[in-house]
């Protein structure tokens, strides 16, 4: 991974970063390299990626990216969950927040989260849930106004190797 140039660092600090929804062309802008800094994220096919991007709005989700010099340098996803409680209000979930390690400490993560919280407000959500690790919980508390509440439980499901294909994504999308 190349070292961040002084010009790039300056552009981040001067606000020359473009924030926008994930696009099909981001497949070629280092998106999977960025996700790999967060978790295991092997690239999918371009067709699966395109289908994911195109079906996001109908699923009520928004993946926001920060673009600098035609490269994705940060990403986060907002998922909106309709509820029957609280008068039919919705809950927002922020997932997969990642900032390129070369760009950390410049406010990109905080800006991503704040933009998604504003979008959640526009969509009528009554709260935003953000799951994170113990290591990054302090950042979200100090910089973004989140606090610890209850606990998260998890059960991992096994998806057979090779099942993340065009037909698998299509089946999931149709069921939603």
In this prediction, residue 100 carries a pLDDT of 97
Q: Are strands 90-99 and 125-130 parallel, antiparallel or unpaired?
A: parallel
Is the separation of the CB atoms in 81 and 91 below 8 Å?
yes
What residues pair up with 95 in beta bridges, in sequence order? 77
Give me the residue spans of the domains in the chain.
6-175
**Cα angle, residue 76 at apex, residues 70 and 82 outer, rounded to 5°:** 135
Percent residues over pLDDT 90 in the chain: 69
Helix/strand/coil for 25: helix
Q: Model-level pTM?
A: 0.81
Q: For 6-175, which CATH class?
A: alpha beta
Q: What is the DSSP letter of 3?
A: P
pLDDT in tens, 103-157: 999 899 999 999 999 999 999 999 999 999 999 999 999 999 999 998 888 898 8
């Amino acid at each position: 991974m190349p070292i961040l140039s002084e010009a790039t660092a300056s552009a981040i600090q001067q606000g020359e970063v473009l924030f926008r929804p994930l696009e099909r062309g981001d497949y070629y802008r280092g998106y999977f390299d960025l996700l790999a800094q967060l978790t295991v994220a092997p690239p999918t096919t371009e067709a699966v990626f395109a289908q994911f991007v195109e079906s996001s709005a109908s699923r009520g989700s928004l993946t926001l990216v920060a673009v600098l010099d035609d490269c994705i340098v940060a990403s986060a996803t907002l998922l909106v969950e309709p509820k029957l409680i609280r008068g039919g209000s919705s809950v927002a979930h922020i997932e997969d927040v990642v900032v390129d390690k070369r760009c950390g400490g410049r406010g990109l993560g905080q800006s991503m989260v704040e933009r998604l919280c504003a979008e959640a407000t526009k969509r009528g959500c009554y709260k935003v849930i953000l799951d994170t690790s113990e290591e990054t919980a302090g950042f979200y508390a100090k910089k973004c106004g989140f606090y610890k509440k209850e606990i998260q439980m998890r059960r991992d499901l096994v998806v057979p190797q090779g099942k993340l294909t065009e037909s698998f994504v299509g089946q999931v999308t149709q069921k939603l």
